Chains A and B, each alone.
Chain A
């Protein structure tokens, strides 16, 4: 257990539905990242928060994706109008400052039918 938690651990949804995932980072970590991992690949960066500010978004993050980190604590990642190509593991990581170890949560596995 790294101290980073994610909820839910698994989500099955039908195409076109909206889904929301939650990440609770290690409490003193001010930086939070979201990654997506598809089968047989390494994780790919989606977006990054420093405290409550979303500072960077990947080109992978289409306008159907939105992420928030109100009050600089937990973060949510919402996918609207899900597509089958969104099926993946969504991972969250936190770290206390730049160039430090990133601690990953267990991930949320999404399956879009």
Chain B
């Protein structure tokens, strides 16, 4: 079953604009990860944020985590056409052995030039 829910399901922006995607989850977590997937391809890891962290940056990416609201956001600044992809958040439940990731349905981002 899906744990996370990304919002919005689809987002269309112009190059240079910022894109914000949100993720909500249900259970207590050890960490939350964001992945990118280009159409028909494998998942590329973007960033991991642990449950005791509130914000993390990596290049043009900024991720926040609010464990009290069980939510996270991914901000992509100064977007490029190459950022066009599906973005997934994934959590590993602190209650679950093996740390299998539980994914949401993803946000499809389209960046036009």
Task: Count B-side interface residues using an 8 Å CB cutoff.
Answer: 27
- A89, B43: Cα distance in complex, Å: 11
Residues of A within 8 Å of B102, CB to CB, are 45
Contact pattern, A 90-107, Cβ under 8 Å of B = 1, otherwise 0 = 010100001111111111
The smallest beta-carbon distance between B85 and chain A, in angstroms, is: 13
**B69 at the A interface (CB under 8 A):** no
The smallest beta-carbon distance between A36 and chain B, in angstroms, is: 11
| B31, A103: Cβ atoms closer than 8 Å | no
Known: A42-B2, A42-B88, A42-B105. A33 touches B100 (CB 8 A): yes
With CB as the reference atom, state the residue of chain B lying closest to A49: B98
Residues of A within 8 Å of B41, CB to CB, are 106-107
Partner of B99 from the list A41, A99, A104, A107 (CB cut-off 8 Å) is A99
| A91, B31: Cβ atoms closer than 8 Å | no
Interface residues of B (CB under 8 A from A): 2, 4, 30-31, 33, 35, 40-45, 48, 50, 88, 90, 92, 97-106
Q: A6-B42, A42-B2 are in contact. List 10 more A-B contacts (CB 8 A).
A: A35-B101, A42-B88, A42-B105, A55-B98, A56-B97, A99-B50, A102-B101, A104-B35, A104-B45, A105-B42
